Amino acid sequence: NAGVTQTPKFRILKIGQSMTLQCTQDMNHNYMYWYRQDPGMGLKLIYYSVGAGITDKGEVPNGYNVSRSTTEDFPLRLELAAPSQTSVYFCASSTTGVGNQPQHFGDGTRLSIL
């Protein structure tokens, strides 16, 4: 049972570099989400998607972009990495409406910007 798969698990970037965090799910969920979690803090919603071709901003979208060309994939793009983007990034999916539960989370991507 793959569920939600995130790659890579760890990454170190230099300031100004770009990268894409990959997220794929095999549960045929329409709703997908990207969160970031800073040390000792709760998760903050970056972007979400209610289906292929539809994305929307969450609470902290600045500095990120997303796309949803298929139901399965929801990549998160950092164009110009900044130290403030050092965090753990979680992708999640759910069957029904935004905020409805349960959300199934991936293992996370630990990203450091130096």
What the block records as the tokens of 28 is 């045929």
CB closer to another protein out of 15 and 98 = 98
Pick 8 or 16: Cβ nearer another protein: 8
Residue 94 forms beta bridges with which residues? 31
How many residues line the site for another protein (CB under 8 A)?
23
Residue 84, classed as helix, strand or coil, is helix
Q: Which of 13, 29, 34, 58 binds another protein (CB under 8 A)?
A: 58
Smallest distance, another protein to C-beta of residue 68, A: 17
| Residue keyed to tokens 């209610």 | 50
Q: Round to whole Å and give the CA distance between 38 and 12.
A: 16
Q: What are the CA-CA distances from residue 15 to residues 49, 63, 104, 108 (Å)?
A: 28, 13, 31, 21
Minimal distance in Å, beta carbon 111 to another protein?
14
**Contact pick of 16, 56, 80, 114 for another protein (by CB under 8 A):** 56
The answer to whether 24 and 109 are in contact (CB under 8 A) is: no
Should residue 23 be labelled a site residue for another protein when binding is judged by CB under 8 A? no
Give residues in contact with another protein (CB under 8 A). Answer: 33, 35, 40-45, 56, 58-59, 90, 97-103, 105-108
